[in-house]
Chains A and B, each alone.
Chain A
């Protein structure tokens, strides 16, 4: 075994990989070899660190130095200065906006991490996900060993039940209860399924867990198999997640080699094995009945419930199906006990939740906070607020099934029930921040456009109803809204909610309903005044040149449509009929004389 004095951790999540972290890793290997440091310093690829905004991210231990926005060229300097001479490369160290780079600052002192509680993500960015030993080093597979040797299956279920863990896929159904129902249903053959068909626009929590800590999911599935009496499991993961799929395959292979999957695990008579099924990316396949149909090789279409999967699921057998993040919590709950888990979060929603923070926010990335944390803390303290000094308008949670939460409700604690009460939902964890430049009607239209696209077409309310709603919204944003459109939208939304077959259809109207609830005035402005208050809907806008104009002629020269006229040194004018709203003149004008109205 080699003893390395320093470990260089390079983020290998999808975010950093797309900004050439693989090349950075290769460069480290080359440089370390050149300087004969390869026996002293090891380079490790890890999962996502969470602060994707600062990527590609490199951390050097034992100092815990956090380098951000690292470029391939920077590697030479880090090796020559930091790793050879022990001098931290100050100008590459991560620093918060407006602060000087501070050399001694450890990861946990950074605002982004300070307010987080990392449970499901505890190993992401710490271990090498392609090395089972590193997972074992941080207590991996200990929970499985403990359960198999010391606990009865019913006791395992009881611990999960006592912990109060609720499904992290969005619905929030108590996980322990789900396991119990499946365990009680008679049957020789049962299945455990992991739902990794993450499809909400802007959500990437499950991908990050699979990329950063795949063994946690495998261990939890084996535990679940033991608890409910199943010997076979499926992981249904999107084919668009190639890194996650690759790491899962490696993890399953390693676990089989160690005898932690397969026959007679850890010398007991419990056997459990896993298969991966790739989904082709249909949003509806995240719905559990559609997902199971897809695993069976059928069209991914939902079926009515009951029968619930716990009674009649995959191949007609009792099946327990949980989301990736739910599984990622299980091994630690079993090791540390239900009371430890309940000590975090709130009474109704214990534990933590991972969110994918995106949109108009400074620290785009992956965060995990205790349940009950107010939205304000997530957006301002962890997320670092809104860029360019813009005003916060709303935050969209729950993806196409969720809703928008306005600024006045920012102090609402994040938990399943409180979010439903204010017309949104937890959802799988996408959190898109909107600022004053976002038009709420357009946001609702965007999400509805997505559901119309993804509707499987099996039931009429979803297939036809959502399309009609989209047509109305398209009409409104293009300036042809009619007086009774809002009422029509509300009526359609309610009937779709009541009559659609599956969760996709039942929740599809939510973005419209919640924006109507909090931003009705924006709809009214579009319909009655033919104005877009956020200046986003192009067909409701025109450009105007104000008296700040000095007649420099720059705008007239750049206008591709020849819509701007005026004498040199004289006030210019835009012909609205010719203008194509390309904004080129606004960019060109040095006097801020051109405005949208």
Chain B
């Protein structure tokens, strides 16, 4: 190694890998995937892997992916909660790998939560349809 730039490059790259050990997590975005038996059976593991690979591919070092148990809405599995600092928790339902990648791009990178994948999206639609009828 001959320059400070090389040192800085190693620092950044490694920090991305071990950032989740830092105690100060003010800017942390947390993706929590439901991984109880129901979630796993519905395919939560590939969904979680998709979240992880997408976050890693985009060098999002402030994103942590973790798991949680069953929250009781097994029919919506695979589900995931996304916590962005300063914003309300958003719950996404009936996920697959492509949807997971889209959530990372649209919601976390570009800051536009994906309305049609959220829980309640179905109800909202029915409500709006009924409103249309009226």
A401 to chain B, nearest CB (A): 36
Is the Cβ of A5 less than 8 Å from the Cβ of B18? no
**Segment among B50-58, B87-95, B101-109, B116-124 that sits at the interface with chain A:** B50-58
Q: Report the nearest A residue to B21, measured CB to CB.
A: A61
Residues of B contacting A87 in the complex (Cβ-Cβ under 8 angstroms)? 69
Quick one: CB contact mask for B1-36 with A, threshold 8 Å, 1 for yes? 111100100110111111011010000101011011
Residues of A contacting B53 in the complex (Cβ-Cβ under 8 angstroms)? 3
Quick one: CB contact mask for B34-68 with A, threshold 8 Å, 1 for yes? 01110010000000110011011000000011111
Is the Cβ of A3 less than 8 Å from the Cβ of B56? yes
Q: Which of A1-23 contact B (CB under 8 A)?
A: 1-7, 9
Bound-complex Cα distance A62 to B19 (A): 9
A118 to chain B, nearest CB (A): 10
Is the Cβ of B1 less than 8 Å from the Cβ of A259? yes
Contact of A3 among B10, B32, B52 (CB under 8 A): B52
How many interface contacts (CB-CB < 8 Å) are there between A and B?
Answer: 91
Q: Report the nearest A residue to B68, measured CB to CB.
A: A86
Q: Report the nearest B residue to A139, measured CB to CB.
A: B11
Q: Which of A520-579 contact B (CB under 8 A)?
A: none
Is the Cβ of A108 less than 8 Å from the Cβ of B23? yes
B50 to chain A, nearest CB (A): 12
Bound-complex Cα distance A434 to B19 (A): 41
Is the Cβ of A9 less than 8 Å from the Cβ of B36? no
Is the Cβ of A86 less than 8 Å from the Cβ of B66? yes
Contact of B69 among A7, A86, A127 (CB under 8 A): A86
Contact of B17 among A4, A64, A126 (CB under 8 A): A4
Is the Cβ of A145 less than 8 Å from the Cβ of B7? yes
Is the Cβ of B64 less than 8 Å from the Cβ of A142? no
**Segment among A129-137, A158-166, A292-300 that sits at the interface with chain B:** A129-137
Bound-complex Cα distance A149 to B6 (A): 14
Q: Report the nearest A residue to B55, measured CB to CB.
A: A3
- Interface residues of chain B: helix, strand, loop or mixed (majority): helix
Asked if A407 is at the interface (CB within 8 A of a chain B CB), the reply is no
Is the Cβ of A137 less than 8 Å from the Cβ of B66? no
B19 to chain A, nearest CB (A): 8
Is the Cβ of B17 less than 8 Å from the Cβ of A1? yes
Residues of B contacting A145 in the complex (Cβ-Cβ under 8 angstroms)? 4, 7
Asked if A388 is at the interface (CB within 8 A of a chain B CB), the reply is no
Q: A3-B56, A5-B66, A86-B68 are in contact. Are A133 and B2 (CB under 8 A)?
A: no
Is the Cβ of B14 less than 8 Å from the Cβ of A137? yes
A367 to chain B, nearest CB (A): 17
Residues of B contacting A140 in the complex (Cβ-Cβ under 8 angstroms)? 11
Bound-complex Cα distance A64 to B36 (A): 20
Q: Find the residue from A126, A127, A137, A259 having the highest chain B CB count within 10 A.
A: A137
Bound-complex Cα distance A137 to B10 (A): 7
Residues of A contacting B65 in the complex (Cβ-Cβ under 8 angstroms)? 5
Is the Cβ of A133 less than 8 Å from the Cβ of B48? no
Bound-complex Cα distance A141 to B10 (A): 11
Asked if A340 is at the interface (CB within 8 A of a chain B CB), the reply is no
Asked if A107 is at the interface (CB within 8 A of a chain B CB), the reply is yes
Bound-complex Cα distance A300 to B69 (A): 62
Quick one: CB contact mask for A333-374 with B, threshold 8 Å, 1 for yes? 000000000000000000000000000000000000000000
Q: A64-B23, A259-B2 are in contact. Are A85 and B14 (CB under 8 A)?
A: no
Is the Cβ of B2 less than 8 Å from the Cβ of A107? no
B109 to chain A, nearest CB (A): 16
Q: Report the nearest B residue to A59, measured CB to CB.
A: B21
Contact of A62 among B37, B55, B66 (CB under 8 A): B66
Asked if A260 is at the interface (CB within 8 A of a chain B CB), the reply is yes
Q: A7-B18, A107-B23, A136-B14 are in contact. Are A266 and B3 (CB under 8 A)?
A: yes
Is the Cβ of A63 less than 8 Å from the Cβ of B66? yes
Is the Cβ of B10 less than 8 Å from the Cβ of A133? yes
Is the Cβ of B18 less than 8 Å from the Cβ of A266? no
Q: Report the nearest B residue to A140, measured CB to CB.
A: B11
Residues of B contacting A142 in the complex (Cβ-Cβ under 8 angstroms)? 7, 11
Is the Cβ of A149 less than 8 Å from the Cβ of B1? no
Is the Cβ of A258 less than 8 Å from the Cβ of B1? yes
Bound-complex Cα distance A62 to B61 (A): 12
Is the Cβ of A86 less than 8 Å from the Cβ of B20? no
Q: A64-B23, A85-B35, A145-B4 are in contact. Are A5 and B64 (CB under 8 A)?
A: yes
Q: Find the residue from A1, A86, A133, A134 having the highest chain B CB count within 10 A.
A: A86
Is the Cβ of A7 less than 8 Å from the Cβ of B36? no
Bound-complex Cα distance A260 to B32 (A): 40
Is the Cβ of B7 less than 8 Å from the Cβ of A136? yes
Residues of B contacting A86 in the complex (Cβ-Cβ under 8 angstroms)? 32-33, 35, 66-69
Q: Report the nearest B residue to A257, measured CB to CB.
A: B1
B66 to chain A, nearest CB (A): 6
Is the Cβ of B66 less than 8 Å from the Cβ of A134? no
Residues of B contacting A139 in the complex (Cβ-Cβ under 8 angstroms)? 11
Asked if A387 is at the interface (CB within 8 A of a chain B CB), the reply is no
Residues of B contacting A2 in the complex (Cβ-Cβ under 8 angstroms)? 17, 56
Bound-complex Cα distance A267 to B69 (A): 52
Q: A133-B10, A133-B14 are in contact. Are A6 and B23 (CB under 8 A)?
A: no
Bound-complex Cα distance A62 to B4 (A): 30
Asked if A40 is at the interface (CB within 8 A of a chain B CB), the reply is yes
Residues of A contacting B13 in the complex (Cβ-Cβ under 8 angstroms)? 1, 133
Q: Chain A: residues with CB nearer than 8 A to chain B?
A: 1-7, 9, 40, 61-64, 84-87, 106-108, 126-127, 133-134, 136-142, 145, 149, 258-260, 266-267
Give me 19 A-to-B residue pairs in the complex whose CB atoms sit less than 8 angstroms apart, sorted by A's number: A3-B17, A5-B65, A7-B18, A9-B21, A61-B20, A62-B20, A62-B30, A62-B64, A62-B66, A63-B66, A85-B36, A85-B37, A86-B66, A86-B68, A133-B14, A134-B14, A138-B15, A266-B4, A267-B3
Further 17 A-B residue pairs, CB within 8 A, beyond A6-B20, A86-B33: A1-B17, A3-B17, A4-B17, A5-B52, A5-B66, A7-B18, A7-B20, A85-B35, A85-B36, A86-B35, A87-B69, A133-B10, A137-B11, A149-B4, A258-B1, A266-B2, A266-B4
Q: Which 7 A-B pairs have the closest CB atoms?
A: A86-B67, A3-B56, A137-B14, A62-B64, A133-B14, A267-B2, A62-B20
